[in-house]
Amino acid sequence: MVMKERNNEDVASEWKPNASAPLWDEESEFEPKGPFFRDLEIEHIKQIGPSCVPTTLAMLARSTGADVGPDDFKKIINSQSPHTWSNALQPYGLQLAYCNHDLRRLSYIVDELVEHDDLFLLCFYSVDPPSDPDDRGKLCTAHIVTLHRDKIIDTAKGVPYGVSLASQYPRLRRQSKRIFRVVPVGHSRRV
């Protein structure tokens, strides 16, 4: 039996790009399998001023028993640098991992994330994003919320509106900016 060699042109002409990807690719056999944080008890904290990132990080750290608040995180993070958010969570056994995403509206992705039955941070644009930054270099206002299992915790809302079922969250029409899965420290996909 003679095997015919395939040249690169043949392979290239048969290959088709994927139209989409799961938000969280299947774990490899060498990677810890989730869910990682199903049993956390996360208590809602109402943010003061434009502090959704440090308030969210404080909320997560407090769920591990830490006695911290948003001001503790304001000192050590850059609100536009997720790498600093992940580093700030490490003393509490948590870190962030990027998920695959694009500008899809939250309504298109929330069910897939809820199926993981775990802990995610969802960043979204507060208005339809412009294509160019303003004169100060800012693209547009964004917000971050916590998805824990099937509930969204929004630090911008007070009680009782700060916690809702993910499927009933009133801002599901917003476009995603970033999506993170919260993973244990040392996880191979860390930010």
Tell me which of 3-12, 31-40, 104-113, 118-127 is least confident: 3-12
pLDDT for res 9: 62
**CATH match for 46-128+136-184 among 3.30.365.10, 3.10.290.10, 3.40.50.970, 3.90.70.10:** 3.90.70.10
pLDDT for res 16: 81
75 against 19, higher pLDDT:
75
Tell me which of 40-44, 51-55, 122-126, 185-189 is least confident: 185-189
Asked if residue 33 has pLDDT above 90, the reply is: no
Q: Note whether 44 and 63 are within 8 A (CB).
A: no
pLDDT for res 190: 78
